[in-house]
Structure 1
Amino acid sequence: MAAVTTMNEGRPAAAWGAVLSMALCVAMLIASEFMPVSLLTPMAAGLNATEGQTGQATSVSGLFAIAASILVTTVAGRLDRKWVLVAMTALMLLSLVLVAASPNFAMLMLGRALLGICIGGFWALATAVLMRLVPAADMPRALALMYGGQAIAAAFAAPIGSYFGGLLGWRAVFWMLVPIVAVNLAWHLISLPALPARGRQDFRGMIGLLARPHFRRGLVAAMLSWGSAFTMFTYLRPFLEQVTGADVAVLSMLLLLLGCAGFAGTWASGRFFTGSIAPWLRLPALVMAGCTLGLLLLGSSVVAAGMFLAIWGATNTAMSVIWMTWMSRTVDDEPEAAGSLMVAAIQASILLGAVLGGILLDTLSIAATFAGSVALAAVAVLLIGGGRSLLKPN
C-alpha cells in the first residue's frame, strides 16, 4: 500500500498498525464495559445485590466516562495524544484487577468508575486520532476496522464470559482479560506514532459546537439511538432467561450469534457508507427497535430470538461507524471537541438506558424494559427524519 503523507506532519498517514492496536483496545474496552451483561445473574448473587442494582455496574462506568470525555482534551492540554491513550489503557488494566479482586460491591463500583475514566478518555480522542493516522478517504474503512474490535468483543466476550462464568466463576472471567490488555498496552507503545497536541483545547470549542443547530440535533439523535439500544442490551440476559427460557448453553449460543452478526455490520459499514451519510442515520434506531419489538412479541421462541438478535447485532456495530462518520464529516474543523461531546452524549445515554431499564425491570417487568427501549428509538427516528437537517450547511 502506498504511503500517504499529511501536509502538516510529513509522515505516513495510513498507519494501519496503529489502527489495529486501537481496534484491540476497543475490543477490550467493550468487553470490559459490558461483561456484566453476560454475568449479571451470577454477579448479583455473588455480591448479594439485585439484578437491577448490579446492572448499575454499567451505568457507573458511563457516569465517569461522561466526565472524562468532557475533561480529557482540556486536562491533557498539550500532552502528546499517544501518551494519553497509553495512560487510558493502563487505567483499564488497573480497573480489571480491582473488579476481579473486589471483595464487595463498593470495590466493584470503584473499579468500574476507573474503567469509565478510561472509556471516556479513549473514545473522546479516538476519532480525532484516526483522522491523523489515515487520509480522509480512508476514514470509513479505518472506523470500520477500529469498530471491528467492537464486533470481536460482541461476538466472543459475552458468550465466553457466560460460559466461563458458569464454569469458573465471574471473577475468573475478568482475570482472563488482564494479560490481553497488558499486551495491548505494549502494542500501543510500539505502534502509535508521536501525536503532539494541535493547540490547547478548552471548553469554548465545545460550546461553539453546541451552538451549531445541525450538530446539536445530531447529538440528541445519537443519544436517543444509543439509549434505546442499551436500555434493552443491558438487561438482555434476564429477558433470555425469563422469556426465552435459555439455560447457560443456549444463552451462550444466542450471545455468540448476536456478536458474530456484528462482523457483518462492520464489514458492510466499511464499504457502503462512502456516499452521503444522511439516509443512513435513522437506520440503526429503526431496525434495532423493530428487533426489540419482535423479541417482545416472539421472544419465547429460541429460533425467533436468535433471528432478531442477529439483525440487532449487525445493526449495532454499524451504528457506531454511521454516527462517527457523520461526526468526522460534519465537524472536521473541531474533531477533538466533537469527539468529547459525542462520547459524553453516548455514555450519558448508556447510563440513562441502564438506569431506566433497571428501574423498569425492578418495579414492573422485563417486558416494560424492552418497551421503554422501543419508545426511545421511536423518538430518535422522528427527530432524525431524512437526515439532511443533521448535515453541515453548504
Structure 2
Amino acid sequence: MSQPILLLSLAAFVASATTRLCDALLPAIAGEFAVPVSAAAVAVTAFTAAYGLFQLAYGPVGARIGPYRTAALGTMLSTVGTLACAFAPSLGWLALGRAASGLTAAAIIPMAMAHIGESVPYERRQAVIARFLMGSITGVIAGQSLAGLFADIFTWRQLFVVLAAGFAVIGALLLKGAATASTGPRPPAGAALQQYRAVLAAPWARVVLLTVSLEGFLCFGAYPYLSVHLQRQFGLDYLAIGLVMSAFGLGGLAYAMSVRLLLARLGETGLAATGGLLLAFCYLLAAVAPVWQAVVPATMGLGLGFYMLHNTLQTNATQMAPENRSAAISLFAFCLFVSQSLGAALLGVAGEITGFRVLFVVAGLGLLGVALGFRRQKRAVAV
C-alpha cells in the first residue's frame, strides 16, 4: 500500500470510528438525556444525514482541487465538530455537533475512493479498495468496542476527545502530503450540475445508486437497534454491548483478508449475492437468538456479508462514470448515508411498535432481495 493510500486509510479509521460509535452508545445517550432510544438515535441520524447531503458539495470540490486534497481538508476540519460533541450540554447540541462532524468527515472516504479510482487500474481496484477499507473496518471495531468501554468505565464524552485528537494528527500529515498531490484537469466553475446530470444519465449508475440506497436503508436502518435489543432482551452492560457489536468489524476484516480468494471462487456477482444471503441469515439469527452469545457470530456474519455486497458496489461506483468520477463517488456516498439516516429514523419508530426482532427479519429478507436484484442487473449488463 502506497503512503498516500495508507494515510487515507488511517483517516478512514477515525472517520469510521466516529460514524458508528453511537450505535453502541444509544442506551447510554438515552439514559443521560432521559429520552427514548428512538429519540436518542438523532445522534446517529444527524451525522449520517449531514454526511450524505454534503457529498453533493464535495464531488465538485474533489474534481477541482483533487480528491486527495479534499480528503485531507475534511480530516483536519473534522476535529472541530467531533470535539464539540464532547461538551454538548443537551441532546440538541449533541445532534448539532454530530451534524458538523458528519459535514466535514463526508469528504474523507468517498474522496479517498475517488483517488484510488484515478490511480489504480480497474482489474486491481477491488483488492486495493479492500486493503484500504481495512482502516475503515478496524475503525468500526474500535469505535464500537471503545464506545462500550468508555460508556462503562469512563464517559462517552471522553471518547469524542480522543477521536478529535486523531483527526488533528492524521489531518496534519495528510495536508503535508497534499502539497505535492496532483489535481488533474480542472472542470469549469459551475459545472457541478452538469457532472451530476451526466452520472444520473447512465443507466448502470442508476442501478448502482438505487442498490446502495436500499442497502443503506435496510442494513444500517436496523443495525443501530441491535444495541437496544441486547440491553432489553439480555440485560447486557455497555461494555459487553460494544464488544458484541464490534464483531461487525471483525467480519469486515475477514472479508478484507480473503477478498482475493472470494473473488476467484465467486466472481463479482456471486460475491454480491452471497453477501446478501449471509446478511439475511445473520439478521434472522440475531432475531431468534435465545442467548446473547449467539448474537456474536450473527454480528460478525453481518459484517462479512455487508462488505461482500458493499465492496462490490463500491468497485462498480468507481467505474460507473469514469469521466465524472468524483461526482459519481459523491452521489454514491450521498445515497448510502441519506438512506442510512432515513432508515435509522423510520425503522427505529417501526421497531418500537413491532419489536426489534421483527425489524431484523424484515431487514434481512429485504437485503437478500436487494443483492439478488443487483446480481440480475449486473449479469444483464454483461450480456
TM-score, normalised via structure 1 length:
0.88
Moved more, 136-145 or 219-228: 136-145
Q: 1:325 to 1:82 in 2, by over 3 A?
A: closer
For residues 145-201 of structure 1, the C-alpha deviation after alignment (integer angstroms, 9 at most, x for no partner) is 221012211222211210121111111111121222222112212344413153324
Q: 1:349 aligns with which of 339, 346, 350?
A: 339
Moved more, 173-182 or 187-196: 187-196
Q: 1:47 aligns with which of 19, 30, 33?
A: 33
Q: 1:35 to 1:305 in 2, by over 3 A?
A: same
For residues 322-379 of structure 1, the C-alpha deviation after alignment (integer angstroms, 9 at most, x for no partner) is 2111222433332112101101110122112111222113333222332342353144
Q: 1:390 to 1:90 in 2, by over 3 A?
A: farther
Partner residue, 2:292: 302
Q: 2:45 aligns with which of 54, 59, 77?
A: 59
Partner residue, 2:116: 130
CA contact (8 A) 2:214 2:339 kept: yes
1:59 deviation in Å? 1.3
Partner residue, 2:284: 293
For residues 197-240 of structure 1, the C-alpha deviation after alignment (integer angstroms, 9 at most, x for no partner) is 53324222222222222221221112112222112211111111
Query: In structure 2, what residue type is equivalent to 1:154?
Result: V
Partner residue, 1:176: 162
Q: 1:209 aligns with which of 199, 214, 222?
A: 199
1:329, 1:304 → 2: CA distance? 39
1:71-86 matched pairs, under 5 angstroms: 71-75=57-61, 78-86=64-72
Partner residue, 1:283: 274
Task: Determine if the alignment matches structure 1 residue 199 to structure 2 residue 186.
Answer: yes
Partner residue, 1:11: none
Partner residue, 1:222: 212
1:330, 1:82 → 2: CA distance? 20
Partner residue, 1:3: none
Moved more, 195-204 or 337-346: 195-204
1:270 deviation in Å? 5.0
More helix by share: 2
Matched residue SS, 1:103:
coil
Matched residue SS, 2:323:
coil
For residues 48-91 of structure 1, the C-alpha deviation after alignment (integer angstroms, 9 at most, x for no partner) is 32211111221122222222111222356633444322221122
TM-score, normalised via structure 2 length:
0.90
Q: 1:99 aligns with which of 85, 105, 127?
A: 85
Q: 1:76 to 1:305 in 2, by over 3 A?
A: closer
Task: Determine if the alignment matches structure 1 residue 120 to structure 2 residue 106.
Answer: yes
1:16 deviation in Å? 0.9
Q: 1:202 to 1:311 in 2, by over 3 A?
A: same
2:259, 2:276 → 1: CA distance? 15
RMSD: 2.4
CA contact (8 A) 1:237 1:251 kept: yes
Task: Determine if the alignment matches structure 1 residue 374 to structure 2 residue 364.
Answer: yes
For residues 119-146 of structure 1, the C-alpha deviation after alignment (integer angstroms, 9 at most, x for no partner) is 3333442222112343444322321122
Partner residue, 1:241: 231
Matched residue SS, 2:64:
coil
1:105, 1:248 → 2: CA distance? 19
Query: In structure 2, what residue type is equivalent to 1:32?
Result: T
Q: 1:123 to 1:259 in 2, by over 3 A?
A: closer
1:95 deviation in Å? 1.2
Query: In structure 2, what residue type is equivalent to 1:93?
Result: T
Query: In structure 1, what residue type is equivalent to 2:161?
Result: W
2:115, 2:260 → 1: CA distance? 18
1:182, 1:189 → 2: CA distance? 11
CA contact (8 A) 2:145 2:245 kept: yes
1:300 deviation in Å? 2.6
2:208, 2:380 → 1: CA distance? 5
Identity %: 18
1:94 deviation in Å? 0.7
Q: 1:306 to 1:381 in 2, by over 3 A?
A: same
CA contact (8 A) 1:296 1:370 kept: yes
2:63, 2:319 → 1: CA distance? 24
